[in-house]
């Protein structure tokens, strides 16, 4: 269970001098996460599992650190502490709000796992602190409604493509999933709220060459992972992909990010359904068994850096793919760089370093955004100041 030490490369970010890094400035979305969301999460974790006194005390210590103290390094005896000591650079001893937000968030979750002895030999090794939350969401009745929507998929192939792509796109909002695209008659109705839509280009990239491997970099577990798996099945069933490699987190991360156990739970939930959901679940189980669906969890998935610092083996994996699809808000931040980009910065420019064709499917839940037309961005800024973080808007962007 000891985490390995991913190499992170030495190349400088292409945005090094062009957009300031996001930090927890007063009044910012990042600051609200650090000051409000992280303490609330610690309390939720405490309540979800009856941890023994020593682990509860460790959670209390972490709460005090994030609310009143400065960033302290991991204990030297903690498995995997060495890389984090190096990655911390000049961050230790500083307030959490003063260091890059992406790094601070990542380190918070790593310290949470350390407090709960996730990596240490003993009875709590490998126990996912977010598992109760994930299980409750997956068991919810809303999942059955989403499964039922599969039986209403349009027969027209382009409409079906669009419905399933939109289901995966809006899956970041657990109360939407398939149903956001459903309207009154089924998932064929167009979803609203798109601020950029390269959907046609995404399908064109997949159809421009013989079926190859599609890398799908997953985001959240539970009801948000289900439409990603359905999309993977659709790519295989329609011949857009000969194989799908589903990239997961190497260990529990960012509350609900998907690990291997979450995929297996989703497959079990799908196979236990009825109608097209059950058929989809059975196809996915066969695809996993015969290698057409492959699960990977690279250590870099939990590193506190953007993909411009990915190690060579992960870059080679993405380079060999017909298309890499990045799901969700965190992957988007890591893809373009967690910086205050002008919204009209071209997506292709921010991702120019990426080793192959890449697409982003993302519901906007943080400040970072690129690739918008200037007039559209100006209208959003004027009419809806919180549009970047409200979760009411989404984008499909492709660079190939």
* Per-residue model confidence (pLDDT) at position 95: 97
If residue 157 lies in a helix (H) or strand (E), which one and from where to where? helix 157-169
| Residue 138, CB-side half-sphere exposure with 13 Å CA sphere | 26
- Radius of gyration (Cα) for the chain, nearest Å? 21
DSSP 64-109: HHHHHS---PPPTTSTTHHHHHHHTTT-TTS-GGGS-HHHHHHHHH
Classified as helix, coil or strand, 398 is strand
Retrieve residue 246's tokens: 């589903």
Mean pLDDT (10-residue bins), the chain, 400 residues? 44 63 96 96 97 98 97 96 94 97 98 98 98 93 89 93 94 44 36 87 95 97 94 97 98 95 96 94 97 98 97 98 97 97 96 98 95 93 91 95
Task: Give the neighbor-by-neighbor strand order of the sheet with 194-197.
Answer: 194-197, 394-399, 358-363, 323-327, 212-217, 241-247, 293-296
DSSP structural state of residue 302 = G
* Per-residue model confidence (pLDDT) at position 142: 85
Q: How many residues does the chain have?
A: 400
* Per-residue model confidence (pLDDT) at position 145: 87
Which of 24, 153, 42, 48 lies closest to 97, judged by CA? 24
* Per-residue model confidence (pLDDT) at position 172: 64
* Per-residue model confidence (pLDDT) at position 89: 84
CB atoms within 10 A of CB 89: 10
* Per-residue model confidence (pLDDT) at position 141: 84
* Per-residue model confidence (pLDDT) at position 171: 81
């Amino acid at each position: 269970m000891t985490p390995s030490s991913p190499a992170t490369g030495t190349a400088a970010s292409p945005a090094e001098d062009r957009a300031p890094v996001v930090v927890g400035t007063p009044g910012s979305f990042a600051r609200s996460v650090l000051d409000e969301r992280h303490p609330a999460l610690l309390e939720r974790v405490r309540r979800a599992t009856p941890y023994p006194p020593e682990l509860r005390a460790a959670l209390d210590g972490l709460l005090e650190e994030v609310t009143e103290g400065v960033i302290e390094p991991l204990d030297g005896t903690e498995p995997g502490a060495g890389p984090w000591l190096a990655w911390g650079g000049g961050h230790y001893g500083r307030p959490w709000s003063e260091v890059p937000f992406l790094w601070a968030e990542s380190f918070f979750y790593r310290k949470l796992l350390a407090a709960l002895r996730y990596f240490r030999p003993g009875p709590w090794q490998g126990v996912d602190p977010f598992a109760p939350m994930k299980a409750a969401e997956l068991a919810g009745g809303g999942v059955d409604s989403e499964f039922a929507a599969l039986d209403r998929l349009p027969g027209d192939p382009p409409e079906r493509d669009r419905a399933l792509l939109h289901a995966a796109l809006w899956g970041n909002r657990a109360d939407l999933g398939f149903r956001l695209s459903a309207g009154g008659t089924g998932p064929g109705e167009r979803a609203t709220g798109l601020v950029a839509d390269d959907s046609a280009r995404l399908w064109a990239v997949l159809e421009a060459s013989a079926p190859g491997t599609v890398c799908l970099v997953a985001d959240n577990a539970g009801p948000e992972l289900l439409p990603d798996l359905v999309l993977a099945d659709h790519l295989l069933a329609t011949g857009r992909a000969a194989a799908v490699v589903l990239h997961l987190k190497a260990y529990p991360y960012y509350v609900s990010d998907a690990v291997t156990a979450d995929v297996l739970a989703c497959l079990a939930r799908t196979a236990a359904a009825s109608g097209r959901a059950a058929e989809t679940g059975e196809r996915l189980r066969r695809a996993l068994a015969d290698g057409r669906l492959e699960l990977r969890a690279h250590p870099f998935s939990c590193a506190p850096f953007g993909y411009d610092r990915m190690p060579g083996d992960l870059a080679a994996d993405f380079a060999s793919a017909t298309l890499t699809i990045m799901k969700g808000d965190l992957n988007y931040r890591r893809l373009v760089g967690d910086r205050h980009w002008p919204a009209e910065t071209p997506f292709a420019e921010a991702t120019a370093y990426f080793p192959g064709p890449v697409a982003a499917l993302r519901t906007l839940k943080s400040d970072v955004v690129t690739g918008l037309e200037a007039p559209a961005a100006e209208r959003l800024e004027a009419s809806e100041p919180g549009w970047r973080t409200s979760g009411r808007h989404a984008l499909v962007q492709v660079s190939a």
